[in-house]
Amino acid sequence: MAEGSDSSTRNAADAERVAAEKAAKKAHKAKVRRLFWMTQARIWHWITGAATLIGMLLFAFTGITLNHAGQIEGKPVVVERTAVMPPDILALIGDAPGEDGKGTLPKPVADWLEKETGAAVSRRTGEWSDDEIYVGMPKPGGDAWLSVDRTTGDVTFEDTDRGAISFLNDLHKGRNTGPVWFWFLDIFSVAAILFCITGLVLLWLHAPRRPPTWFIVGAGLVVPALIAVFLLHV
């Protein structure tokens, strides 16, 4: 009986030891996994944070300027230039290149216009009629247009600049900024989303030691939601 009792005790002890080893291994794996995700979150958080820092500051700043656009009024500066196109250059214009009455100016004509007026009309699509060619050149923070009288060769170029704040506001909205800025905004937005997601992961990992974490995160959701539902039209 004593031998059987000792054997049972040893078996129980071995079972407890094996269970303890399994629990320790499981806890170690969980710790390693947690450390891996924390390290990855920290790396990508600082990378995306560094990459988007200036952009987020500018977007936050222009969010304020756009919200107070009525109080922040810029004084437009309008510059007008006129010229008369020589007959030999005017003759190069020819007929409208497209059936819809739209097309680009021939390169010699565009080069002459840029030299005489400063208007960057190369590769710009203009609206052609029997009497006039009109080329609109909208841009961030301003506007510009050029008109060519097809009979007399009279050229009018007008350039409007609404100031730095208007320029930054249009960058914020992607207004008249072209395809390169369009793609930059998309890439910047993805980086900012990764910054927020990795920040959320870090919050989740540190939340057990920081009890107010989810209360503050929840407030960031609830407060704007309540304003949107109850105070949006007050």
Task: State yes or no: pLDDT of 97 exceeds 80.
Answer: no
Please give the structure tokens belonging to residue 16: 């407890």
- Please state the rounded mean pLDDT for residues 52-66: 95
Task: State yes or no: pLDDT of 164 exceeds 90.
Answer: yes
Give the amino acid at 175. Answer: R
User: What confidence score (pLDDT) does residue 6 get?
Assistant: 61
Q: Across all residues in the chain, what is the average pLDDT?
A: 88
The residues near 153 (Cβ < 8 Å, ≥ 6 apart) are: 84, 85, 86, 87, 89, 90
- The DSSP code sequence of 100-117 is TSEEEPPHHHHHHHHHHH
Task: State yes or no: pLDDT of 23 exceeds 90.
Answer: no
Give the amino acid at 151. Answer: T
Q: How many CB atoms lie within 10 A of CB 151?
A: 9
Please give the structure tokens belonging to residue 42: 């920290």
pLDDT tens digits, residue range 125-155?
999 998 999 999 999 999 999 999 999 999 9
Task: Report the share of the chain in percent with pLDDT over 70.
Answer: 93
pLDDT tens digits, residue range 196-218?
999 999 998 888 888 899 999 99
Task: Say if residues 104 and 126 touch (Cβ distance below 8 Å).
Answer: yes
Distance CA 52, CA 60 (A): 12
Instruction: Give every strand in the sheet of 77-84, ordered side by side.
Output: 77-84, 154-161, 142-149, 132-136, 125-128, 102-104
User: What confidence score (pLDDT) does residue 99 get?
Assistant: 72
User: What confidence score (pLDDT) does residue 11 get?
Assistant: 65
Q: How far is CA 17 from CA 10, 20, 24, 84, in A?
A: 10, 5, 10, 98
User: What confidence score (pLDDT) does residue 8 get?
Assistant: 66
Band (pLDDT 50/70/90 cuts) for residue 195 is: very high
Bridge partner list, 104: 125
- Please state the rounded mean pLDDT for residues 93-115: 86
Task: Say if residues 186 and 176 touch (Cβ distance below 8 Å).
Answer: no
- Please state the rounded mean pLDDT for residues 46-56: 95
Band (pLDDT 50/70/90 cuts) for residue 10 is: low
CA 79 to chain centre: 31
Domain ranges in the chain are 14-70+178-231, 77-162
* Terminal-residue alpha carbon distance, the chain: 86
